[in-house]
Structure 1
Amino acid sequence: MTEFFFFFFSFFLLIVSGSSQNPNPNPNPTPSAVHDELKSFGFPIGLLPSTTVLGYNINQTSGDFSVDLGGACKITLPPDNYLATYSKRITGKIDQGRIARLDGIRVRAFFRWWSITGIRSTGDNLVFEVGGITAKYPSKNFDESLACEGKHSAS
């Protein structure tokens, strides 16, 4: 069962992240302060939506962080219209090249929502953790932020 899940999850992420075209017709040309913070820790800005960040807090000693969005955010990932959702608050622990204890980002695949629990950056690649399973994809696929779709939920 684990091998079956890993195969399909890897295939899904490969499809979602395999597009080298700019999927966002309206990229945010000037990153916000939290996007700059992501870059300073070795991550691309496309890990967060481009237009809905109300505020953020990073404890420089512990690495604990929170990002407050204007509400829950939905993004359709090209090319096959997979959904990713961001809660109105995203939390975790960040260090150079590593986000752990991530809470608030999920992706829908195979009729189920999967929580992304961690992300590692090696510069050229990102390794996404979903429970005990990992998948590696090129960082360049996340060089630009996508805007949230439709109205943002206050929940």
Structure 2
Amino acid sequence: MGFVRLVALKMSIKIFLIMIFCLLVSIQCNAEAKMEERNTNLTHTAYDELASKGFPSGLLPNSVAKYFFNKSSGDFSVHLNGRCDIILPPDNYPASFSKTVRGKLTEGYIQELSGIRVKAFFKWWSITGIRSKGEKLVFEVGMVTAEYPSVNFDESPDCGGSSHSSA
């Protein structure tokens, strides 16, 4: 009976050591993945992410403090230095960005958008999506859409209304 307990103890120790080894490998892989994600965020800007999906950088004001982008799902959040009020070209509609803008960015489409409002017809409306259609951008406000030339959004606006190059 003592021999069986000794064998069982040795097997338990081996299993325990294997589990510890697997845990350490898993922790190392997670640390490397997080480091890679941080490096990506350091080398790419929110404006670069927009451009990579076919959008002009001027869709965001120049006050981006940080952003997060999940490459597999397309989910993003952009954090500004604070709330940002601008004038949207070409019709000079007042617009307001919340401190945080969220949505889902895929090739040619920003959907599930929150954090951007525009004032039209004496009322504030939330922009819920933006589509890129060649030289045009289609802004979605619920079921209603408005189409504008994308060149109107080549420069990132300053908070307060004027334009600033996004370079």
Q: Report the TM-score when normalising by structure 2.
A: 0.66
Question: In the TM superposition, what is the alpha-carbon distance from 1:104 to its structure 2 partner?
Answer: 0.4
In structure 1, stretches of 5+ residues that fail to align are 1-31, 151-155
Distance in 2, matches of 1:40 and 1:34, equals 10
SS in 1 for 2:49: helix
- Answering whether residue 141 of structure 2 is matched by residue 130 of structure 1, we say yes
Question: What count of residue pairs does the alignment treat as equivalent?
Answer: 118
Distance in 1, matches of 2:158 and 2:117, equals 16
Question: In the TM superposition, what is the alpha-carbon distance from 1:136 to its structure 2 partner?
Answer: 1.6
- Answering whether residue 127 of structure 2 is matched by residue 116 of structure 1, we say yes
1:100-130 CA distances to partner (integer Å, 9 max, x unpaired)?
A: 0000000111210011000000221111100
Percent identical: 62
Q: Specify which of 59, 71, 75 is matched with residue 60 of structure 1.
A: 71
Work out whether residues 130 and 138 of structure 2, in 8 Å CA contact, stay in contact via their aligned partners in 1: yes
Distance in 1, matches of 2:112 and 2:160, equals 26
User: After superposition, where does 1:74-89 map in structure 2 within 5 Å?
Assistant: 74-77=85-88, 81-89=92-100
In structure 2, stretches of 5+ residues that fail to align are 1-43, 162-167
- Which structure exhibits the higher relative contact order, with contacts defined as CA atoms closer than 8 Å and separated by 6 or more residues? 1
Question: In the TM superposition, what is the alpha-carbon distance from 1:147 to its structure 2 partner?
Answer: 0.4
Higher helix share: 2
Distance in 2, matches of 1:104 and 1:144, equals 20
Distance in 2, matches of 1:39 and 1:73, equals 21
SS in 2 for 1:49: coil
Distance in 2, matches of 1:38 and 1:54, equals 16
Distance in 2, matches of 1:109 and 1:135, equals 11
Distance in 2, matches of 1:134 and 1:145, equals 22
SS in 2 for 1:71: coil
User: After superposition, where does 1:6-155 map in structure 2 within 5 Å?
Assistant: 33-50=45-62, 52-77=63-88, 81-149=92-160
SS in 1 for 2:157: coil
The structure with more radius of gyration? 2
